[in-house]
Amino acid sequence: MNLLIMMLPARFQYFSLGNMPQDEAIEMVYKYSRFFNIPVTEEAAYLIAQMAEGSPFYTSSILRSRYQNKDLTTVKGLTETLEFETLDNRGNIKATWMEYVSAAFSNVNDRNAKRIVLHLFKYKDRELTRLEILNQLSLDMTDETMEKKLEALVKGDIIEQGQSNFRYRAVRDNIFDKVFRGVYQDEIEHFDVKEIGKEYEKSFEKLKRQYRRLQGN
């Protein structure tokens, strides 16, 4: 897209499609389930739709996962399937995201880029200014260099632009941060990748309680 913009400036209009609303996301799970003959319960369909946040890519990757022991009818099975998809090199979700990451890092000069992305994950609920990032991470670079690095990460879909060109935030995504942290967090700071599996379990347990409340239980 960036190459096209440089070669053919002002020739394109952008129209973005957001993720599917909850009812359509659940119906998508059922359709994949029927088409690929993969059993799911009503509760599991709700859990998958919620965890995938209505993303067709995440939903199809979970339903079509090549995980040998895939069982999408239990929390344990869902957790193991997501761990495979996001932490195992054979997982489609991980492989796809790492293509984006590799492309972005090749344009950004990898030095400190991982630290910046991991730092933004810690503040997923708000935006940070370039100055905040520079100071909080004690980065030895000019504001201009920092701006170019962040701009490359934004173009690579690794982070998001905030309300102004001075502000940035982590990608608001239940799954991408786990892919990224699974690859890089242990390199930057002490981290046990098994913690990600525990995070999935906690998220599913929380979603199960929501589902039961919706059922009046």
Query: Each residue's pLDDT tens digit in the chain (217 positions)?
Result: 777 778 888 887 777 778 999 999 999 999 999 999 999 999 999 999 999 999 999 999 999 999 999 999 999 999 999 999 999 999 999 999 999 888 888 877 677 899 999 999 999 889 999 999 999 999 988 889 899 899 989 988 899 999 998 999 999 898 999 999 999 988 888 888 889 999 999 999 999 999 999 888 7
Q: In the prediction, which pLDDT does 27 show?
A: 97
Cα separation, 103 vs 2, whole angstroms? 12
Let me know whether 184 and 99 are in one domain. yes
Q: In the prediction, which pLDDT does 191 show?
A: 84
Question: Is the residue at 208 inside a domain?
Answer: yes
Q: In the prediction, which pLDDT does 18 show?
A: 83
Let me know whether 106 and 145 are in one domain. yes
Let me know whether 151 and 177 are in one domain. yes
Query: Exposure string (b/e) for 38-69, b if CB count within 10 Å is 16 or more?
Result: bebeebbbbbbbbbbbbbeebbbbbbebebee
Let me know whether 163 and 199 are in one domain. no
User: What CATH number does the domain containing 173 carry?
Assistant: 1.10.10.10
Owner of token pair 């929501």? 210
Q: In the prediction, which pLDDT does 123 show?
A: 92
Let me know whether 98 and 64 are in one domain. no
How many Cβ atoms are within 10 Å of 99's Cβ, its own excluded? 10
Sheet holding 159-161: strands in order across?
Answer: 128-129, 167-170, 159-161
Question: Is the residue at 46 inside a domain?
Answer: yes
Question: Is the residue at 184 inside a domain?
Answer: yes
Let me know whether 54 and 136 are in one domain. no
Let me know whether 161 and 98 are in one domain. yes
Cα separation, 190 vs 19, whole angstroms? 34
Let me know whether 61 and 112 are in one domain. no
Label residue 96 exposed, middle or buried (CB < 10 Å: 0-12, 13-18, 19+): middle
Question: Is the residue at 43 inside a domain?
Answer: yes
Domain that holds residue 147: 94-188
Let me know whether 85 and 73 are in one domain. yes
Question: Is the residue at 217 inside a domain?
Answer: no
Let me know whether 70 and 105 are in one domain. no
Question: Is the residue at 16 inside a domain?
Answer: no
Contact present, 130 and 168 (Cβ < 8 Å): yes
Owner of token pair 């909850």? 22
Let me know whether 168 and 98 are in one domain. yes
Contact present, 134 and 128 (Cβ < 8 Å): no
Q: What total of structural domains would you count in the chain?
A: 2
